[in-house]
A and B are shown apart, each in its own frame.
Chain A
Amino acid sequence: MTLDDLTKSSGEWLKGTGPESDIVMCSRIRLARNLADFPFTNRASRAEKAEIEAHATSAFAAAKLDLDYIDVNALSPLDRQFLVERQIISRELSSSEGPRGVALSSHENVAVMVNEEDHLRVQYMLSGFRLAEVWDAVNKIDDLLEEQLAFAYSPQLGYLTACPTNVGTGIRVGVLLHLPGLVQNKQIDKVFRALQKINLAVRGLYGEGSQASGDFYQISNQQTLGKSETELIRILTDVVPQVLHYERNARNTLLTERREHLHDQVSRAYGVLKTAQRISSEETMLLLSSVRMGINLGLIDDLSISVVNELFIQTQPAFLQKLGGKELGVEERNIARATYLRTRLSNGRQAPRHER
């Protein structure tokens, strides 16, 4: 698999399938793990990082996980940005130095970062609200890796991580939610505050907040010590349905009290995306968010949700440049973005074919 192959497909997590997928884009769990006899990445020499990487890649092979290893250190800045946009690697892994990489499964459900803040960051993602399934999958991968590698672990403190905020289970349980209703009725701040009170973190699609990220918000646990993995997952599975309930209420109110206004907003957004000749990333995200909600509320019926989900990722700067095969300035990207949107939204409204 090459990065160019990736431009022709998209991750399973964008398919828009699974429970509650009108609001829950995907469920994701990551585990932080470190090899017992090496310094943490921030303290490891180049040679030690290379050794860690070698241990990791041979463990992936021995565990028969069927992953492709991408050597991030050998990638151009554009390719690294491309992987960040796809949620495969973190900004931190993209911008750090020395031997590092990511092992990826064919549908991008599994992504194991090597030499990020921790030696291994094992991530599993599925579209929709399916945390129990995600936990089963990531737990199994962790078991297989544990047969090959000695992880730093203490009976008192659990899995030892570079930052004490991850120690214990090393788990981050998260869901990516699309909340345009709560943004429009301005209740979103209230929801954030309530979540914070019970120790959950809220971030935007790429870490940042605001509508610039298409009304997408990631909710995840902060506590990793003193509660088991299943307890931490249960907190999310208890709380997320309440957020979904508020979002659906907000959407229904918009639909009943401001139907014409909403229909107009959604149709205009769709119209601009289908016909614009140049468009910024920020405006694209804003309009795609309206269109996504419009599909879910039955106001748009000739476009599939998976295409819109993909477009959130495929209108990002690095994707457009990979597609064009060259680096593009801001203005060139705005033209390329509009051209790509027109093509995807007018001709065959299907996802690009998945060839591997």
Chain B
Amino acid sequence: MTCQHCAKPASVHLTERRQGERREIHLCAACARKAGLALPDSPPNLALDAVVQDLIVANVGELVGELAQIVCPGCGMKYMEFRASGRFGCPDDYRVFAVGLHGILTRYHGASRHVGKSPRPRTRAGDRLRLRAQLKAAVAREDYEEAARLRDQLKAEELHA
């Protein structure tokens, strides 16, 4: 069976009844989509971005005003940017925007606490990366005392490496 609009094989087959008359329609997937016909054998559309955005809008409610003021000191992400894209800018955003997160996580995952694998103790290479992250965060929040301590620790680690 070929599509009535183009020569491609038809994958959508419909029977229409109009004033007692039966009419068969055979279309390929592309032409059916153009005609606005839902494909019976296609799985539900998984527009994940839209799902996330809807969740964000539905679950932060009156917190929006408060959240809109927050900017992540590490990556410069604004809450409204997260709301528009559904993506965070850096791992620290989970802490920075924590206020608006609980509802979203609970709605999507049915949970708000991690269960499962956790990182094992790492070798020194991993420690140095972690220290560098902490140092960067300390500088970002202008905690220079902590930054100096971390810098010295990092130097010592790098000497050992």
Interface residues of chain A, those whose CB is within 8 Å of chain B, are 34-40, 42-43, 55, 62, 117, 139, 142-143, 146-160, 162-165, 167-169, 171, 183, 186, 188-189, 192, 196, 199, 201-204, 208-212, 217, 222-231, 280, 282-283, 286
In the bound assembly, the distance between CA atoms of A325 and B141 in angstroms comes to 55
Q: Does B35 contact A (CB under 8 A)?
A: no
Contact of B46 among A55, A143, A201, A226 (CB under 8 A): A201
In the bound assembly, the distance between CA atoms of A196 and B46 in angstroms comes to 11
Q: Which of B17-25, B60-68, B128-136 contacts A (4 or more CB under 8 A)?
A: B128-136
Q: Does B101 contact A (CB under 8 A)?
A: yes
Q: A147-B120, A203-B43, A226-B109 are in contact. List 6 more A-B contacts (CB 8 A).
A: A152-B91, A163-B87, A168-B111, A169-B117, A225-B114, A282-B29
Sampled A-B contacts (10; CB under 8 Å): A39-B75, A117-B87, A150-B130, A151-B119, A157-B113, A160-B91, A163-B88, A167-B105, A226-B114, A282-B11
Q: Which residues of A contact B122 (CB under 8 A)?
A: 146-147, 150
In the bound assembly, the distance between CA atoms of A305 and B45 in angstroms comes to 30
CB distance from B129 to the nearest CB of A (A): 4
Chain B positions 18 through 61: 1 when the CB is less than 8 Å from some CB of chain A, otherwise 0:
00000000001100000000011111101010011000000000
Q: Does B69 contact A (CB under 8 A)?
A: no
Interface residues of chain B, those whose CB is within 8 Å of chain A, are 8-9, 11, 28-29, 39-44, 46, 48, 51-52, 74-77, 85-91, 94-95, 101, 104-105, 108-120, 122-123, 125-127, 129-130, 132-133, 136
Best-buried of A42, A148, A224 by chain B (most CB within 10 Å):
A42
CB distance B109 to A223 under 8 Å?
yes
